[in-house]
Amino acid sequence: MQDYRQEFRDFAPTIYLDCAYQGPFPRTTVARLQEAIELKCHPERLEAPEYFRLPERVRGRLANLLGADPSEIALTNSATQGIGIVAAGVGLAAGDEVVIASRNFPANLFTWLHLRRLGVRVQVLKPAGDRVRVEDVVGVLTPRTRVLALDWVGYTSGARIDLATFGELVHRQGGIFVVDGTQGVGALEIDVRQLPVDVLAVAAYKWLLGPYGTGFVFLRSEVQDRLELPVVNWMSVEGSEDFDALPTEEFTLPRAARIFDVPETSNFLNLNALEASLEFVERAGVRTVAEHCARLLDRLAEGLERKGYRLRDWTDAEQHSTILGFQADSREATTQLHQKLRANNVAVSQRHGTIRVSPYLYNTEADIDRLLSVVGDPS
């Protein structure tokens, strides 16, 4: 495989194994960002059509990544915003039911719990780890279930759910399937044309290597038709690019997800950087990312098991992702281990009493071996 290390800044003396926390900018993104900064220093170079062209280029790349149509992508500033467009817009009312899981990232948890104020019944599944089981969902679905909202890849152990299975379950009840894809998109291949996923919300600052404050949501066109639009983004109104011919009485909105774009959509610094990062991900290939991380995590899993550490949600290979979670004998011992790793310049996260390791293309087997040598054997 190509050596991707020179495409990023050198992390030395740190070994950065925390892409699930923040994906770093590739060098090409830094260069593009510098060009974008120049545009702000020289606004006379910023041409009006670019306000419309830049979001469309980014939208096109995101659609490509998912196998979606650009008309199904709205640009957001977060996963929360994408989920919120649906939670607030799909017309849920007293007596309707929503099913979520306690280990969903908070973006896919509180957004739904907030609907309880309207009398919506929000059922919270509580699996033992990140892994949501089919039987748990089957047990709570009813004819009143309007939404099942789950994370594709868990942010603690990286357990990946089978989107086809869960999507079909809720579709059978007439509900929609809302997925937070933040920890999967960019790291694992996905084709929404083949999947019963209605909504896929993603924060782009992790596996898409974008700036913090960028994201998008895939809204299948049938779902768009059911969504209320509370605030109009003026840039999405037909003809809004021509100030001399603006409609002032009646206006037309396109039948496309871009009507849900975050206002000031063409945030130049953010979107130029995101565009360059998406180009990098495309060039490297999502499959390359997935296979490289799988090789590193298999090596890590083997080493940790040999030392006697407990791996979380690792029994079933189909549930593996680009994240691995492991624990020492007790919560305190896990916390100490995390501290030891940090003190030894190995950057990983700790979530729910689990150490989370998430490599990327810049990591090598030597990085994994270094982690293994720092953790030593469980006390």
Ligand X SMILES: Cc1ncc(COP(=O)(O)O)c(C=O)c1O
Q: Is 315 helix (H, G, I), strand (E, B) or coil?
A: coil
309 lies in the binding site for ligand X (CB under 6 A): no
Shortest CB 23 distance to ligand X, Å: 11
Q: Is 22 helix (H, G, I), strand (E, B) or coil?
A: coil
Shortest CB 109 distance to ligand X, Å: 10
What mask, x for binding ligand X by CB under 6 A, covers residues 194 to 213?
A: ---------x----------
Which of 8/152 has CB closer to ligand X? 152
183 lies in the binding site for ligand X (CB under 6 A): yes
Shortest CB 182 distance to ligand X, Å: 3
Shortest CB 31 distance to ligand X, Å: 25
Single out the segment in contact with ligand X by CB under 6 A; choices: 2-10, 11-19, 78-86, 303-311.
78-86
Nearest to 273 by CA among 23, 11, 2: 23
Q: Is 278 helix (H, G, I), strand (E, B) or coil?
A: helix
354 lies in the binding site for ligand X (CB under 6 A): no
Nearest to 100 by CA among 169, 177, 157, 159: 177
217 lies in the binding site for ligand X (CB under 6 A): no
Nearest to 103 by CA among 179, 156, 167: 156
Single out the segment in contact with ligand X by CB under 6 A; choices: 141-149, 177-185, 235-243, 272-280.
177-185
Distance of CA 51 to the CA centre of its chain: 25
Which of 109/286 has CB closer to ligand X? 109
78 lies in the binding site for ligand X (CB under 6 A): yes
**4, 8, 105, 216: residue in contact with ligand X (rule CB under 6 A):** 105
Single out the segment in contact with ligand X by CB under 6 A; choices: 56-64, 72-80, 133-141, 170-178.
72-80
368 lies in the binding site for ligand X (CB under 6 A): no
Question: CB within 8 A of 212, min separation 6: which ones?
Answer: 22, 205
Structure tokens at 198: 């209605």
Q: Are 321 and 159 in contact (CB under 8 A)?
A: yes
Q: One-letter amino acid identity for 8?
A: F
215 lies in the binding site for ligand X (CB under 6 A): yes
Cα separation values, 204 from 33, 150, 211, Å: 16, 18, 7
- The burial of 83, by beta-carbon neighbours within 10 Å (0-12 exposed, 13-18 middle, 19 or more buried), is given as buried
Q: Which residues bind ligand X (CB under 6 A)?
A: 78-80, 105, 107, 151, 155, 180, 182-183, 203, 215
